[in-house]
Amino acid sequence: MSERINRREMLHGTAVAGASIWLCGRSVGADAKSPNDKLDIAVIGPGGQGKINLNALAQQNIVAICDVDDQRAGKAYQRFPKAKKYYDYRRLFDEMESQIDAVVISTPDHTHFHPAMMAMRMGKHCYCEKPMAHNMTQVRAMTELAAEKKVATQLGVQRHVYPNMHRIVELIRSGAIGPVKECYAWVATDRGMPPMPTEFPAVPSHLKWDLWLGPAPERAYSPDTYAPYKWRFWWDFGTGEMGNWGCHILDIPYWALGLRYPNHVAASGPPVDAQRTPKSMDVRYEFPARGDQPPVTLHWLHTKKGPAVLAENNLSHPGSGVLFVGSEGMLLCDFKKRKLYPEKKFADFEPPPRSIPDSPGFHQEWINACKGGPPATCNFDYSGPLAETVTLGNVAYRVGHEFAWDAAQMQAPGSDDVQPWLSEPYREGWEI
């Protein structure tokens, strides 16, 4: 089989496989593995964050490893010499469909969607790194397919299991600071707008550049410009700091406030660059009331200095964080710290009883779910709306104006110019 597989043939094969997978009893809904059985896992992208995921899952059966860069993946190949080696995940699925239970995807943002959809169409469980996919249409498709196929999923928002996160959620839900109508979340960095490439040497022998590009538009290789890390600051491949940190930091208010989809969004920042993500950005989301909780305005800030609201309230918080503003006080926090304000008012405050149980471990949650246990805490039903909200912030920034948002229809009423930014074309041979 050639390295570049005909896309229509591949999709036909996966469609047939998807029809038969439910008959052979490998789906979680039909015949889940017992808790004592090991999962047969294929790992796509074992370098970088993928190495952390691989380490966490090493006690399972790693039966296949796929990577386009022999240098980045070399240690994984050495550690798991029995795992079959692939450069092209399409070939992996074609050859090993009946030999895998689950797939872990830790690739650049632009190559999350294709392998995830292939895997879930076959009834395979899916662990995918944030921000889930490269655009809103992809995220929605993955969320809906996971529900349809009843596969176990987990988005790589690993800080969700931190004990401090649990305590923050319990504080907000208990009404400690009263109803929350406004919330600020920020990442304290100015990364973005990398230099334009100036050198275009031959692609190094250890890298399959065409496969690294995948569905993205073709462009010349340039050393240390895109791979292995700076891809996240190029629109064709990444989603900027909004996608990089948004899912992690916005997970705090999303969980605590029970958020799903916003109904209005606005964004501002430096002039939009057609190719590169910005060094700063402000996004304002409006969320409707949820049960007895009032509507809430959620501010996302990509800023080196932190939000002005801290200085306005004589608060100090170095680094990234979240500020909940309630009718009875404020909660300033991050993944490992939390503090209630005004300090005098809460000096003798007794925290609510703990109600959120400790996690067995972020990856272990997913393993348990794959074997028929409860859904992982960041399964796609929870994390899909979070990932959509993150990508919607980028859309608002690139469109250049605020708009109302109808999440059910995935439309911006009265703003037809928004629609083209919700999806993207794929390079020939990668249509799906």
| Contacts with 12 (C-beta within 8 Å, 6 or more apart), sequence order | none
- Three-state secondary-structure class, residue 274: coil
Q: What is the pLDDT of residue 8?
A: 35
- Farthest CA pair distance, the chain: 71
Give the whole-angstrom CA distance, residue 47 versus residue 65: 11
Q: What are the pLDDT digits (tens) for 337-387?
A: 999 999 999 999 999 999 999 999 999 999 999 999 999 999 999 999 999
DSSP 353: P
Give the whole-angstrom CA distance, residue 85 versus residue 92: 9
Residue showing tokens 């067995």: 360
Six token digits for residue 55: 């380490």
Q: What is the pLDDT of residue 19?
A: 30
Give the whole-angstrom CA distance, residue 104 versus residue 44: 6
What does the H/E/C string look like for 240-265? HHHHHHHHHHHHHHHHHHCCCCCCEE
User: What does R_g of the chain's alpha carbons equal in angstroms?
Assistant: 22
Q: What is the pLDDT of residue 20?
A: 27
Q: What are the pLDDT digits (tens) for 161-206?
A: 999 999 999 999 999 999 999 999 999 999 999 999 999 999 999 9
CATH code linked to domain 160-192+236-369+387-422: 3.30.360.10
Beta strands in 7-159 (DSSP E): 40-44, 61-66, 84-86, 102-105, 125-128, 153-155
Whether the CA torsion 308, 314, 318, 324 is positive or negative: it is negative
Q: What is the pLDDT of residue 12?
A: 35
Q: What is the pLDDT of residue 432?
A: 80
Contact 269, 282 (CB under 8 A): yes
Six token digits for residue 316: 């100090």
Backbone angles phi, psi at 112, to 5 degrees: -85, -45
Six token digits for residue 28: 């979680």
Pairing of β 321-326 and β 296-302? unpaired
Q: How would you class 77 by CB atoms within 10 Å of its CB: exposed for 0-12, middle for 13-18, buried for 19 or more? A: middle
Q: What is the pLDDT along the chain (432 residues), one digit of tens a residue?
A: 333 334 333 333 333 333 322 222 333 443 567 777 999 999 999 999 999 999 999 999 999 999 999 999 999 999 999 999 999 999 999 999 999 999 999 999 999 999 999 999 999 999 999 999 999 999 999 999 999 999 999 999 999 999 999 999 999 999 999 999 999 999 999 999 999 999 999 999 999 999 999 999 999 999 999 999 999 999 999 999 999 999 999 999 999 999 999 999 999 999 999 999 999 999 999 999 999 999 999 999 999 988 999 999 999 999 999 999 999 999 999 999 999 999 999 999 999 999 999 999 999 999 999 999 999 999 999 999 999 999 999 999 999 999 999 999 999 999 999 999 999 999 999 988
Scored b (16 or more CB within 10 A) or e, 389-410 reads bbbbbbbbbbbeebbebebeeb
Contact 186, 332 (CB under 8 A): no
- Three-state secondary-structure class, residue 395: helix
- CATH entry 3.40.50.720 includes domain 7-158: yes
Beta bridge partners of 40: 61
Six token digits for residue 224: 């240390």
Q: What is the pLDDT of residue 14?
A: 34
Model confidence, pTM: 0.92
Six token digits for residue 18: 């998807």
Q: What is the pLDDT of residue 31?
A: 52
Amino acid (1-letter code) at residue 183: C
Amino acid (1-letter code) at residue 380: F
Q: How would you class 314 by CB atoms within 10 Å of its CB: exposed for 0-12, middle for 13-18, buried for 19 or more? A: exposed
Give the whole-angstrom CA distance, residue 221 versus residue 234: 14
**Where do the domains of the chain lie?**
7-158, 160-192+236-369+387-422
| Contacts with 264 (C-beta within 8 Å, 6 or more apart), sequence order | 285, 286, 402, 403, 404, 405
Beta strands in 53-202 (DSSP E): 61-66, 84-86, 102-105, 125-128, 153-155, 180-187
Pairing of β 153-155 and β 180-187? unpaired
Contact 263, 282 (CB under 8 A): no
Domains 7-158 and 160-192+236-369+387-422 share a fold: no
